[in-house]
Structure 1
Amino acid sequence: MSDLPDGIEEFLGKAGWGGADIDPIPGDASFRRYFRIKSAGGKKAMLMHAPPPHEDPKPFLHVAGWLSDHNMRAPEIYAADAAQGWVLLEDFGDDRMRDWLDDHPAGEAPAYEVAIDALAALHQRPPGPFAPYDMPTYLRETGLLTEWYAPAQGLTVDKAAYEAAWEEALAPMMQRQSPGVTVLRDYHAENIMLLGDPVARAPQGLIDFQDALVGHPAYDLVSLLQDARREVSEDLESAMLDRYRQLASPDHHFEADYARLGAQRNAKIVGIFTRLYKRDEKPRYLDLIPRVWAAMERDLTHPALGPVARWFDSNIPDELRHSGGGTIT
């Protein structure tokens, strides 16, 4: 028990879980840790430790409360001490959508259908009390590509023209974000927990939503259907977009806005994955860049992305683009 954080047993005791078994879960985050908790009576829970000043569990608690209040399947919060970084919450089990599909490939379509249905339901709710996904945020995110990827490839690029191209491409979409919808921002197969068989339309649990903003409904669709971590075929992507259209009846700009946000998110992820390697010494993310790059190239073919596509034509060599972003060393 010596490797457990200070204060863990005191918190559990105050929460009514004194004497419970504590099983650390291996993780990738440097400051946030998770533990499986089992009481003497057999009750199970998940314990998150996100200690300040490096972490702050208050946004997670804020979004979780709003989602639960609006009948979305966030984990129930049993107890919390935000000042010390403790959150005791419902344990959704081990069936991440990504892992379940590895073992049950025939269940792919039903699993994605349930995920699409959940997004459509979320978008029928009023937007949550969260900050807007505004232009400065979009531009800051796309800037990760020129900040990290371009230097890693030894490229000297026109950063001012890059930002201007993105602003021109995204500007027509911004008015369609008002009043907007709640955007979870990382809604994909590794952050969706299966609480039963998708074929039977069992509900799916939401996690990793603490950075929620109010923005465009296409964003989380891109996150799900142009998944950096799991291959989603273009046929499945098309079928799920059709399903969403049937459920949500988006306006005639939807296809263009989906392409805009696909390119925006994928440019951001290329930058993030490069940063994880160059700054954080996590090279495994490099293998995912070709998939992200290929999706971005598809998005850039839409006329709505004309200014950005022209920037790529002028600043990123063909040999890198045709090789999925090239090899980063």
Structure 2
Amino acid sequence: MDSTERDKLIEAWVGQSIDSSIFSIKPVHSDASFRSFLRVYDDKHKSYILMDSPPEKEDNEQFVIISGMLIKMGIPSPRIIKKDLQAGFLLLTDLGQQTLLNKNISTPKELNRFYGEAINILVSIQTNGIAFQEQLPKYNSVLLHSEMDLFSEWYCRKELAVDSKTLQEFNFQELFNRLSARALEQKQVFVHRDYHSRNIIVSDTGQLGIIDFQDAVEGPITYDFVSLIRDCYYELSDKDIDYWLSEYYQQLSSKGLVDCSFECFKIDFDLMGVQRHLKAIGIFSRLKHRDHKNNYIKDIPRTFSYLDKVSARYDFLEPLNEFIRFYNLK
């Protein structure tokens, strides 16, 4: 089916799904998946989001399941108005037109307000998500390793053209084993798995909402937090990172979600970030080489800057630190 034919199907389906007439349909964005999004306006100036998600490439049933969990938890997220999973069409409530990333936060007061609220929502997900954890896939060693392998395969081999012999000399697999083991020793909670500034919507009234949640798993408690605070798309100062890490730890401690020392928690945070950032660099490279989406490659230097700082702090990360310096990636 060509794009013109699918566009006609979408317009006809949306027309049957809302109580008023369609005024306009405008593209919103595409993300790192095979999905695309349209903003639908009716003749009463109400807006909706149409998610066009090819069922042969995306797990739309899981999107519906996780959406239901978040709604039951009271988490601000899109509600499904109507769905046709066979066609891959989902009509959603419209949370707003700005993400936290493009909000252009200009003052410390704004930053504290929005990041404070994002962390509050995250803690609510982790607290209220306890009732749903057993229904989620597990962030197990196989999954953690497969994500880090994306770094070796798509960034090292495809982007840098590193040969197999050279790659083996850095012995990343041992490093991956250590990172995976440390992640699985953490408290396991409801993990959004892509909790960052591009997936947090800011409404016209300044309320936050969470999107892109369909890959949720039961996994390490620091995963979503490091995804937000050491964001691949937006860099906070070291001072801000330290502040929010302390605030987050105190919130979790008060709710009984962590029982380790702050020093231990900070190590978990650092090392979880390494796993996350290796994965992200691999995905950004795959998007370029496999999917011909080149706009994510510009975020790799920022992501490497996190890896450079953290890998210098831990002896077992020395091979990664050497790799960054050898290829001048910092």
TM range (shorter): 0.7 to 0.9
Within-5 A mapping of 1:84-123: 84-102=87-105, 107-123=110-126
The alpha-carbon deviation at position 297 of structure 1 amounts to 1.9
> d(CA) in 2 for partners of 1:286 and 1:8?
31
- The answer as to whether partners of 1:193 and 1:204 remain within 8 angstroms in 2 is yes
Per the alignment, residue 173 of structure 2 pairs with 163
Distance 1:122 1:11, change over 3 A: same
1:320 to 2:327 alignment:
yes
Once structures 1 and 2 are overlaid, which stretch shifts more, 261-270 or 272-281? 272-281
Aligned position for 2:18: 16
1:135 maps to which of 127, 141, 160: 141
Tell me by how many angstroms 1:96 deviates.
1.1
2:7 partner SS = coil
Opposite residue 278 of structure 1, the aligned amino acid is H
**Secondary structure in structure 1 of the residue aligned to 2:197:** coil
The gaps in structure 2 that reach 5 residues or longer are: none
Judge conservation of contact 2:308–2:321 (CA < 8 Å) in 1: no
Counterpart code for 1:283: N
Shift of 1:104: 6.1
Give the structure 2 partner of residue 28 of structure 1: 30
Structure 2 counterpart SS, 1:7: helix
Residue 266 (structure 1) aligns with: 277
Match of 1:68 among 57, 68, 71: 71
| 3-state SS, counterpart of residue 205 of structure 1 | strand
Cα displacement string for residues 193-220 of structure 1 (whole angstroms, at most 9, x for unaligned residues) = 11355xxxx5410001111111011001
Q: Distance in 1 between matches of 2:67 and 2:169?
A: 37
Q: Provide the secondary structure at the position in 2 that maps to 1:27.
A: strand
Alignment of 1:77 with 2:80, yes or no, is: yes
- Correspondences of 1:156-195 after superposition (within 5 Å): 156-158=166-168, 161-177=171-187, 180-195=188-203
1:302: Cα distance to partner? 4.0
Alpha-carbon distance between aligned partners in 1 of 2:169 and 2:181, rounded to the nearest angstrom: 18
Q: TM-score, normalised by structure 2?
A: 0.86
Match of 2:156 in 1: 150
Aligned to 1:327: none
Read off the aligned partner of 2:282 and give its amino acid letter. G
The corresponding residue for 1:292 is 303
Answer whether contact 2:97 2:203 (CA < 8 A) is retained.
Answer: no
Residues 215-245 of structure 1 deviation map (CA, whole Å, 9 limit, x = unaligned): 0110011110111111211111111111111
Residue in 2 aligned with 1:232? 236
After superposition, give the CA deviation of every residue in 1:58-79 in whole Å (9 maximum; x if it has no partner): 2211111100101111111111
Cα distance, 1:256 vs structure 2 = 1.5
- Could you give the per-residue CA deviations for residues 40-92 of structure 1, whole angstroms, max 9, x where no partner exists? 33332111111221233222111111001011111111111111111111101
Residues 78 and 89, structure 1, Cα contact 8 Å, conserved in 2:
yes
Residues in 2 aligned to 1:281 and 1:78: alpha-carbon distance in whole angstroms: 32
User: Take 1:313 and 1:160, find their aligned partners in 2: how far apart are those partners?
Assistant: 10
The number of aligned residues is: 313
Letter in 1 for 2:226: V
After superposition, give the CA deviation of every residue in 1:10-57 in whole Å (9 maximum; x if it has no partner). Answer: 423442346322412153358422222222333321111112212332
Q: CA deviation at 1:159?
A: 8.1
The 10-residue stretch of structure 1 (158-167 or 268-277) with the greater mean CA deviation from structure 2: 158-167
C-alpha contact 1:184 1:211 (8 A) present in aligned 2 = yes
Task: Give the deviation of 1:163 after TM superposition.
Answer: 1.9
Which residue in the other structure is 1:218 paired with? 222
**Change over 3 Å in CA distance of 1:43–1:285 after alignment to 2:** closer
Distance change in 2, residues 1:3/1:96 (3 Å): farther
Structure 1 residue 313: Cα displacement: 5.1
Distance 1:21 1:31, change over 3 A: farther
Q: Does 1:45 align with 2:48?
A: yes
Gaps of 5+ in 1: 325-329
Q: Is the 8 A contact 2:311 2:320 kept in 1?
A: no
Larger mean Cα displacement after TM superposition, 289-298 or 12-21: 12-21
Q: Distance in 1 between matches of 2:4 and 2:290?
A: 30
Query: Helix, strand or coil for the counterpart of 1:209?
Result: coil
Residue in structure 2 matching 1:256, options 256, 263, 267: 267
- Supply the distance in 2 between the matched residues of 1:319 and 1:310 (Cα, whole angstroms): 12
CA contact (8 A) 1:146 1:159 kept: no
Compared with structure 1, are the counterparts of its residues 62 and 136 closer, same or farther at alpha carbon in structure 2 (3 Å cutoff)? same
